[in-house]
Amino acid sequence: MKQTQQQPVIDLRGATASLGARPVLRGVDLTVHAGEVVALLGANGSGKSTAVRSVIGQVPLSGGTLSLFGTEFRRFRDWARVGYVPQRTTASSGVPATVREVVMAGRLARTKLGIVRKADRAAVHRALALVGMADRAGDSVNALSGGQHQRVLIARALAGEPELLIMDEPMAGVDLASQEVLAGALRAQVAAGTTVLLVLHELGPLEPLIDRAVVLREGCVVHDGPPPEAVGQHALPGHDHVHPHADAAAEPIRTGLLS
Amino acid sequence: MEILNYAFMQRALLAALIVGVTAPAIGIYLVQRRQALMGDGIGHVALTGVGLGFLLNTSPVWVATAVAVLGSVVMELIRWYGKTRGDLALAMLFYGGMAGGVMLMSLSDAGSNANLGTYLFGSITTVSPQDMTTICVLAALVLLITVGLRRQLFAVCQDEEFARVTGLPVRLLNLLIAVTAAVTVTVAMRVVGLLLVSALMVIPVAAAQQISRSFAMTFAVAIGIGVAVTLTGTATSYYVDVPSGATIVLLAIGLFVIFTALAAPLAKKRAKAAAGASEGCTLEVPGSRTLTDDVSV
């Protein structure tokens, strides 16, 4: 951890970005140190997805600086160290593919010229076992449920044995059983020292794993610290924090999570 | 087999075999990327190359290859940059290519309407020894790319964004797919014709995926179907005197229909097997008999 203090895994400073004419990030600072699990929270349209997508270079920054593993983003080539789970789109495409074939795509960065060795097959199997999908390796991804689909996408990211795992809403639309499997898989990764940055709509079953939460609202960081507590009735969706509080200073952090 | 006694038929069958392998080999990536019609567009553009070849009195195959490659690169660039008007730009390119080809051909001395027909719809028995050399060289290139880089191309076509984050040179690979498709179009041009090229890239893949669960299996079966229909179609066109291109494409569609019919019960069986244990939503009534109970009278 000593070395990490000097060199954050992700160092995003003053990031601005816009989609079309609309500014989505308006000066976001986001630092993630090795071994940390950081959740990026915020309401829909707060820019949290754009923020992670800018970290992996999928949204160009119009301003600010970004470095990964201490390397300026422009010079960063070491993508094998990064595992990415996109917001669930499709693991299925125009042609059938098995679970194993999809997960193997996540191992490519660790192979030389795409030549698959025994160790690569083993890594794919381990990743599938970690998300409880080893027995479905030969099945077509088209035959999977939403939750199983998401597990495959996470296994794909894990197959490369990344040091940094970036996940965009990994729990969205995932059934309870799969959520628990995913939380378990993530716990194992964190225990092994993997750094994690994840976008979440709500903390949910991952809450105990999270070291720090960064809350975005309208493209600005409004909270960076311990995960905001949302318990009991406050956690209900659609609940708005408009209680008359005795002490104004005790006003809870407005996360935008529930608005 | 008297069919093999003629040099022109030997060439025709070899060309058919090559096209049967290469067209589905690149076609599978286009289908995976949901760009099944890209081959069709390249075919249109390649016609300008054929016309240009006639006008310049050089080999139409090479000029068509050059123009098709250029056209495919432009298409790929339109895909990157033209977000909203992309489809209109592509339409412009396709019809411009077609019209340009017809115009150039009419301007040249050698290019008659009959000649135009052989490029549009294929004329496998007129494949010359020089054409053969070109076809072999280009086909080897196509196979080298589609088989050698299959894992990279699979990753790019499956999930472009993810592929970029794994550090793959996605733009380069996309360009490679476009260029390879263009080369395949000109390889297949003499066999099935520019207007039917795309059929051979897409239909064998569509048929194969009816019965397969994996990409590797789809790839192999699609090539098998491709070879089967091109060889059968060419032989048929020799015996019955029908156009080879149309015969091949109709055979492919026939196979697609058969595979689809075969796949329906297969898929049902698989779905049942997959559902397996979780399917049992029957209420258990104590004392009731189940199907597995031994009942003797």
Question: Is the Cβ of B222 closer than 8 Å to some Cβ of chain A?
Answer: no
Strands (E), A5-158: 10-19, 22-32, 37-41, 63-68, 71-72, 82-85
Across residues B256-284, what is the average pLDDT? 69
Would the pLDDT of B38 be above 50?
A: yes
Would the pLDDT of B288 be above 70?
A: no
Domain A2-250 listed as CATH 3.30.499.10: no
Question: Residue ranges per domain, chain A?
Answer: 2-250
DSSP per residue, B206-244: HHHHHH-SSHHHHHHHHHHHHHHHHHHHHHHHHHH---H
Would the pLDDT of B115 be above 80?
A: no
Which residues, numbered 106 to 125 in chain A, qualify as contacts with chain B under a Cβ-Cβ cut-off of 8 Å?
A: 106, 108-109, 111, 114, 116
- ipTM, two decimals: 0.81
- Neighboring chain A residues of B161 at a CB cutoff of 8 Å: 58, 86
**Which residue in this structure is represented by tokens 């498709």?**
B181
Strand partners, A166: A84, A197
Q: What is the pLDDT of residues B240-257, one digit of tens each?
A: 888 888 899 999 999 999
Angle between helices B244-275 and B170-192 (to 10 degrees): 130
Residue A257 to chain B, least CA–CA distance (Å):
27
* Side chain identity at residue A235, one-letter code: A
pLDDT at B156: 92
* Side chain identity at residue B294, one-letter code: D
Q: Which CATH architecture describes the domain B2-195?
A: Orthogonal Bundle (1.10)
- Highest mean pLDDT (candidates B20-34, B96-110, B120-134): B20-34
Q: What's chain B's average pLDDT? A: 85
**Cβ–Cβ under 8 Å, residues B209 and B160:** no
Number of neighbouring beta carbons within 10 Å of residue B235: 18
CB-based burial of residue B70 (10 Å sphere; 0-12 exposed, 13-18 middle, 19+ buried)? Answer: middle
Which residues, numbered 85 to 104 in chain A, qualify as contacts with chain B under a Cβ-Cβ cut-off of 8 Å?
A: 86, 89-91, 93-98, 100-102, 104
> CA B204, CA B146: separation in Å to the nearest integer?
16
Helix, strand, or coil (residue A224): strand
- Neighboring chain A residues of B167 at a CB cutoff of 8 Å: 77-80, 109
Residues 6+ apart with CB under 8 A from B290: none
| Order of strands, sheet of A212-217, starting from the edge strand that comes earlier in the sequence | A82-85, A164-168, A195-199, A37-41, A212-217, A220-225
pLDDT at A159: 92
> CA B261, CA B9: separation in Å to the nearest integer?
34
Measuring CA to CA, how many Å separate B252 from each of A87, A131, B142, B193, B225? 38, 41, 21, 15, 8
Q: What is the pLDDT of residues B191-239, one digit of tens each?
A: 888 888 899 999 999 999 998 989 999 999 999 999 999 999 999 988 9
Residues 6+ apart with CB under 8 A from A256: A41, A42, A43, A46, A215, A216, A217, A222
Q: What is the pLDDT of residues B43-83, one digit of tens each?
A: 999 999 988 988 887 777 888 899 999 999 988 888 887 66
Question: Is the Cβ of A143 closer than 8 Å to some Cβ of chain B?
Answer: yes
Contact check, Cβ <8 Å, B165/A139: no
Residue A5 to chain B, least CA–CA distance (Å):
25
- Neighboring chain A residues of B217 at a CB cutoff of 8 Å: 96
> CA B52, CA B100: separation in Å to the nearest integer?
9
pLDDT tens, per residue, chain A with 259 residues:
444 456 889 998 888 888 888 888 888 888 999 989 999 998 888 888 889 989 988 888 888 889 899 888 888 888 889 999 988 766 567 788 999 999 999 998 888 777 888 889 999 999 999 998 899 999 888 888 888 888 899 999 999 999 999 999 888 878 888 888 888 888 988 998 999 999 988 787 888 888 899 988 888 888 888 887 654 444 444 444 444 444 444 444 444 444 3
pLDDT at B291: 46
Question: Residue ranges per domain, chain B?
Answer: 2-195
pLDDT at A236: 45
pLDDT at A176: 84
Residue B72 to chain A, least CA–CA distance (Å):
20
